[in-house]
Amino acid sequence: MILEFAQRREEGDLKKLFVMGCLSERYLKELAVEIPQVDKFYGKFNWKELLHDLGKAYHEELHIERTLTTPKHYAYLKISEGCDRKCSYCAIPIITGKHVSRPMEDILDEVRYLVSQGVKEFQVISQELTYYGIDLYKKQMLPELIERISDIPGVEWIRLHYAYPAHFPTDLFRVMRERNNVCKYMDIALQHISDNMLKLMRRQVTKEQTYRLIEQFRKEVPGIHLRTTLMVGHPGETEKDFEELKEFVRNARFDRMGAFAYSEEEGTYAADQYEDSIPQEVKQARLDELMGIQQQISAELSAQKIGSCMKVIIDRIEGDYYIGRTEFDSPEVDPEVLIRRPETDLCIGGFYWVEVTDADDFDLYAKIADYHE
């Protein structure tokens, strides 16, 4: 994206080009040399400098409310910035700094405004959700925050992303169980299951604790769908560790799963302390094998939904199909529901009940159902 706009700047299509964010926060000097078409790079928090360079007129314009870059029926709601965890492989704390929670009332005001603009679904995000509130309120406040968002009229779905397994706030189970507009969905990055790897990754959790947390999720929140992310090829991962990870995926049967191969990040503990000795072809083979196991699990879980009625939100139209999602599917990263277009038009951003008629490895196919709440 930066290179695309740099080309336009060089061709005279843009008067000025400014770049701000995580990349320029970390590699500001290098980027200035590599992409001279950019007039100025800014770190992630250099708002005052940016406003000064843009001039007073733009400063006044920034007093308007948030502008959505997503479809108007859903929005991402960031509740904090930064992370205090010290995972060996992760550069996020280096780039974003320590965890800083947003004041709860600021978040609630933003939700009320977005609801007034037509937003129905909120993806609550943070680099580390479960730490929310500790810096401001001296205790974990995620359960209370979600309850208060849930209370706001017009909030139809709340979905939680990027939780950490260590010290998980168990009162959140009650909130998810009792609140109908809190999706039975949790995105919790587990990364590995081998105690050897969890220690090398500095994850502050054990294999036993991880299994117990998954069991607790499914016991306390019936019907919950779990999404996780796993890593292969971190320095020190043996064949035994990888076998444990495969067995974990088979046993846990995650509803949604992503995985990636370790890549050394400059400045991280792993880059400084460990040798990245596992060959790339071994990493890729492990990744392919792990995702192959999950693909089979996903196909089996999808097939079990055939014949069931599910509530979906319609995101868009593609050819002969409306594309929707259930409460168990987050935008862009999760499966979708393809609904053949009926004679009566459906509303983008509307909720409908559908009957699942078919499934492939990930996506579902459905028709509009007669069932209503």
pLDDT of residue 370: 74
Q: What is the rounded average pLDDT of the residues 7-24?
A: 86
What's the CATH number of domain 74-303, 3.20.20.70, 3.80.30.20, 3.30.70.600, 3.30.230.70?
A: 3.80.30.20
State the virtual CA torsion across 164, 297, 302, 163 in degrees, nearest 10: 0
Domain parsing of the chain, residue ranges: 2-61, 74-303, 309-368
Query: What's the token pair of residue 370?
Result: 């007669």
Q: Is the pLDDT of residue 173 over 60?
A: yes
Separation in Å, CA 16 to CA 13, 19, 22: 9, 10, 20
Helix ranges (DSSP H) in the chain: 2-10, 22-34, 47-54, 56-61, 92-96, 104-116, 134-137, 142-150, 171-178, 195-200, 207-220, 239-252, 269-273, 280-303
Annotated binding-site residues read 83, 87, 90
pLDDT of residue 372: 54
At residue 64 the predicted structure's pLDDT band, cuts being 50, 70 and 90, is: very low
Q: Is the pLDDT of residue 56 over 70?
A: no
Instruction: Say yes or no: domain 309-368 is CATH 2.60.40.420.
Output: no
Please write the tens of the pLDDT for every residue from 200-244.
999 999 999 999 999 999 999 999 999 999 999 999 999 999 999
Mean pLDDT of the chain: 92
CB atoms inside a 10 Å sphere around CB 280 = 12
> If DSSP codes are grouped into helix, strand and coil, which group holds residue 286?
helix
Q: Is the pLDDT of residue 26 over 80?
A: no
Annotated binding-site residues for [4Fe-4S] cluster read 83, 87, 90
Q: Is the pLDDT of residue 59 over 50?
A: no
Q: Is the pLDDT of residue 61 over 50?
A: no
| Residue where the block lists tokens 């067995």 | 247
Q: What is the rounded average pLDDT of the residues 102-128?
A: 96
Q: What is the rounded average pLDDT of the residues 275-290?
A: 98
